[in-house]
Amino acid sequence: MKIFAIGDLHLGHAVDKPMDIFGPQWKGHTDRIAGNWRARVGAGDLVLIPGDVSWAMRFEEAEEDLQWLDRLPGRKIFIKGNHDYWWPSISRLRDRIRGTSLFALQYDAVTIGGASVGGTRLWTLPDLEMPYEDPLDVPSLQSQGAPERSHDEKIFRRELGRLKLSLDSIDPQARVRIVMTHFPPTDESGRDTALTSLLENGGADLCVFGHLHNLGLPRGRTWDFVKKGVRYVLVSCDSVDFTPYYLTEVTES
């Protein structure tokens, strides 16, 4: 089973949201993704989609996008991005896509073949003067008289807890342990963050993420590096030339 990843598809089959307003490279991006996908991905392969699946605002508007994804080769695992406003409760979503080639994660994990995959959205990395030794120890900062945290930092701390839930759900015996996040857990230099610490200590082999666009990367090149035993790969669709990005291959048994 080959494993690929591509994020930030920004599909809009039922809504009027042309992507070429963000640059000429986005013109006809849906057709380009589909063609490249069919050329690379086989029926028995796995594709990871770390968020921003659809521009839809309601689930009913997103169904055509999900059906489009289902028709493409391979099995697909996806998470929620910051633009996935259509995302209903996870129970309703899983119920509606049951029996398809799609599986949705929400700060939990699923194991397919030799790969165990967890995922959560995350949030923008705040500029912090101190590391979070315990990402779930929120009250301790307040008890030490720390100033009121910003709204963004509160969301970030909540997402730290959800990342830990995802890591705890991953099968430690799997041949490869992958975490999908929408927001990057680090920058292109591999800066140490509370998120990278969790990934390292949680036994992740690989973290794939998206969210970043129009970085001016050379064609076919993206962030793909290893730091302290964890491989980090940026797979927003324009950073991988609108092509599912090959990650690794694992045996099913």
Q: What is the pLDDT of residues 236-250, one digit of tens each?
A: 999 999 999 999 999
How many independent structural domains does the chain possess?
A: 1
pLDDT at 138: 35
pLDDT one-digit tens code per residue, 17-34? 777 777 788 888 999 999
Look up the domain containing 137 and give its range: 2-249
| Per-residue exposure over 195-223, b if at least 16 CB sit within 10 Å of its own CB, e if not | bbbbbeebbbbbbbbbbbbeeebeeeebb
Q: Say whether pLDDT at 130 is over 60.
A: no
pLDDT higher for 126 or 153? 153
- Residue 114 confidence (pLDDT): 93
pLDDT value, residue 154: 85
The alpha carbon of residue 222 and the mean position of all alpha carbons in its chain are separated, in whole angstroms, by: 15
The pLDDT of residue 150:
75
Per-residue confidence band for 127, with pLDDT thresholds at 50, 70 and 90: low
Asked if 73 and 44 touch (Cβ cutoff 8 Å), the reply is no
Q: Cα(13)–Cα(16) distance, rounded to whole angstroms?
A: 8
**In the predicted model, is pLDDT for residue 146 greater than 50?**
no
**According to the model, what pLDDT value does residue 253 have?**
59
Span 40-85, pLDDT tens digits: 999 999 999 999 999 999 999 999 999 999 999 999 999 999 999 9
Q: Which residue has the higher pLDDT, 156 or 179?
A: 179
Q: Which residues pair with 118 in a beta bridge?
A: 109, 179
> Residue 57: which CATH number?
3.60.21.10
When the pLDDT of each residue in the chain is averaged and rounded to a whole number, the result is 88
Look at residue 131 in the predicted model and tell me its pLDDT: 37
pLDDT of residue 242: 94
